[in-house]
Amino acid sequence: MHSDLPSSEFDIAIIGGAAGGVLTALQLLRQATAETRIVMIEPAACLAQGVAYATHYAEHLLNVSAGRMSAFNDRPGDFVDFLVGEGDSETPGKISAVYAERRRYGAYLRARLEQARSTAAAHFEVRQDRVTGMQLQDGEWRLPLQSGPFLLARSVVLAVGNNAKPLPARNASSLPAGLISEAWDFDAIKRIPVEADVCIAGSGLSMVDAALSLAANGHRGQIHVLSRHALLPLPHAAGHALAPINAKSLEPLSLRARMQRLRQAADRAQMQGLPWQAVMEAVRPSVQALWSSLSLGDQQRFLRHVVRYWDVHRHRIAAGVHAQLVRLQADGQLQLHRGRMDAVAHDGMRIVVTLSTAETGSREIQVDRVINATGVEMRVAHMRNPVLSDLLQQGLARPGPHGIGIDTTAEGALVDAHGAAVPDVAVIGSLRIGRLWESIAVPELRGQAETAAKQLLFRTRQ
């Protein structure tokens, strides 16, 4: 059993207590010995939330069925077991196919963490605080805290999670408080008057959350969705079919040839009675290898021309959620606009949103509220994270490929400005997206967490 005595010196410090941090803590607690001292530092009062699982509203569902959301590679049915234990009346087989409420997944991770903590040999504690920097001194990492003191750790896990992109419009900061909301501020969206006309910037998964919140609130005003491509996330197919495609055979091909091959595979799948989604499911485990085998030039072309089309096919939503969006469109309440948001202005009564389109040039939409649903900030230079800024300034880290996230080794160790590994710092989650591309879904997070735990615990025993 762990001691409850506070400490300032640890073997391993986990910076971030959202899903990635909690998954790493679970792996550490499963494997660590009594001599190991572990601390998690997270500013939020509730762990295992972050952007993805902070909602406490029932309309926000997981984008993956429950049977594929276990926290553990070696216990694939664990999340389903949790739901059964919580009193779900359906059989495990039926629960496995359900897209559960996202708030229940956060509860699941917290329950598993508490179980692991109560039985672990290692010392584990949580500090509700914010790390404001990170310096290497005499072989230890000094982690200053917002509250004033600092912690020391031999090794560190960077699991800092996601940041929202700023609204890409001139004068956005001049709008009066309350007229613009972040898509992840679920309570603020619930407070939007039901008669208000709303403009949502972005048409991805964050937009889906915002639109569902408005609909659940009985919203009657117009919902204008604005994005460059005007593409909504596509639905999952029923079941979990796999198309017969050899993902390995795609690796020698150029980006153009790969996309052509995938389209052909989707056509063949549909001729065989399979949904096109079966092709995406078949290549899903190989996305990291496919990304890393692209040339830098093709990666850049992907980011310029393909990424949005890839996202709507790869990051799908529950069929019922997609049907709800289609109904909102069919009823005329949700209008999808293709264009770029140039500026916003408050004229005293309403907000004037200026957008530019290739078809019609500049035009204006008048609304009462604006919601920023432009998604996750991937450029490390714009993340406004003091820990990352400190590491970059000291040359202890460098941006990932294309300036996305931070650079890591294949195993997830931090890479410094000279390209050398920093083996006592493990990176988890979206920070690795430039190197891996696929790095935010639970299968990747739990795999990264397991690898990081093994490597850092091995170092503590040296």
CATH number at residue 196: 3.50.50.60
Inside any domain, residue 82: no
Residue pair 49/111 in contact (Cβ under 8 Å)? The answer is no
Same domain, 419 and 445: yes
The per-residue pLDDT for 214 is 97
Question: Taking each helix axis from N to C terminus, what angle separates 78-85 and 102-119, rounded to the nearest 10 degrees?
Answer: 100
Coil, helix or strand for 21?
A: helix
pLDDT at 34: 86
* 96 within a domain of the structure (yes/no): no
Whether the Cβ atoms of residue 373 and residue 183 lie closer than 8 Å to each other = yes
Q: Which amino acid is at 209?
A: D
Distance between alpha carbon 244 and the CA centroid of its chain, in Å? 29
Which range of residues forms the domain containing residue 253?
A: 247-314
- CB-based burial, 154-183: b 16+ in 10 Å, e otherwise: bbbbbbbbbbbbebebeebeebeeebbbbb
Residue 160: CB partners within 8 Å, gap ≥ 6?
A: 15, 16, 385, 387, 388, 429, 431
* Predicted local distance difference test score (pLDDT) of residue 31: 92
Give the number of other CB atoms < 10 A from CB of residue 322. Answer: 17
The Cα 392–Cα 214 span in angstroms is 40
The pLDDT assigned to 7 comes to 62
* Residue 239 within a domain: no
Q: Are residues 385 and 404 in the same domain?
A: yes
Examine residue 76 and state whether it is found in any structural domain, yes or no: no
d(CA 325, CA 72): 33
370 neighbors 183 (Cβ within 8 angstroms): no
DSSP 22-36: HHHHHHHHHH--TT-
Other CB atoms within 10 Å distance of the CB of residue 107:
18
CA distance linking residue 47 with residue 37, whole number of Å: 19
Decide which of 351, 372, 393 is a domain's last residue.
Answer: 372
Collapse the DSSP code of 190 into the 3-class scheme (helix H, G, I; strand E, B; otherwise coil) and give the result.
helix
120: amino acid identity, one letter: A
- 65 in a domain, yes or no? no
350 lies in the same domain as 393: no
Burial of 5 (0-12, 13-18, 19+ CB in 10 A): exposed
Task: Flag whether 341 is in a domain.
Answer: yes
Q: Is 282 exposed, middle or buried (0-12, 13-18, 19+ CB in 10 A)?
A: buried
Q: Please check whether residue 258 lies inside any domain of the structure.
A: yes
Of 325, 352, 372, which residue constitutes the final position of a domain? 372
As given in the structure block, the two tokens for residue 379 are 């450029």
Q: Are residues 277 and 253 in the same domain?
A: yes
Among 290, 314, 338, the domain boundary falls at 314
Same domain flag for 326 and 421: no
Q: Are 416 and 12 in contact (CB under 8 A)?
A: no
Q: Does residue 324 sit in the same domain as residue 219?
A: yes
Contacts of 278 (CB under 8 A, 6+ apart): 237, 241, 242, 243, 269
Q: Cβ(269)–Cβ(311) under 8 Å?
A: no
pLDDT tens-digit map of 28-83: 999 998 889 999 999 999 999 888 788 999 999 999 999 999 999 999 999 999 99
Would you state the structure tokens that stand for residue 58, as one six-digit string?
A: 């029932």
> Alpha-carbon distance 218 to 281, whole Å?
35
Are 30 and 134 in the same domain?
yes
207 and 354 share one domain: yes
> How far is C-alpha 23 from the chain's CA centre?
14
Give mean pLDDT in consecutive 10-residue pieces for the chain, a chain of 462 residues.
60 96 97 93 92 90 95 96 89 93 96 96 95 94 93 96 85 88 93 97 95 96 95 92 93 97 95 95 95 96 95 95 97 94 90 86 92 91 91 96 95 97 95 93 94 93 74
- Judge if 417 and 443 occupy the same domain: yes
Sign of CA dihedral 94, 97, 100, 105: positive
Q: Are residues 129 and 34 in the same domain?
A: yes
What one-letter code names the amino acid at 102? R
CA dihedral 118, 120, 121, 127 (to 10 degrees): -70
Do 302 and 437 sit in the same domain of this protein?
no
Task: Tell me which residue of 211, 191, 203, 235 sits closest to 331, measured CA to CA.
Answer: 211
State both tokens at 65. 């069925």
For the chain, the first-to-last Cα distance in angstroms comes to 23
Helix (H) / strand (E) element for 353: namely strand 351-357
Provide the domain count of the chain: 3
**Residue 4 placed within a domain:** no
pLDDT of residue 354: 93
Q: Are strands 334-338 and 421-427 parallel, antiparallel or unpaired?
A: unpaired
Whether 111 and 224 map to the same domain: the answer is no
Strands 340-346 and 351-357: antiparallel
Residue range 252-301, pLDDT digits in tens:
999 999 999 999 999 999 999 999 999 999 999 999 999 999 999 999 99
Q: Measured between alpha carbons, how far is 285 from 289 in angstroms, rounded to an integer? A: 9
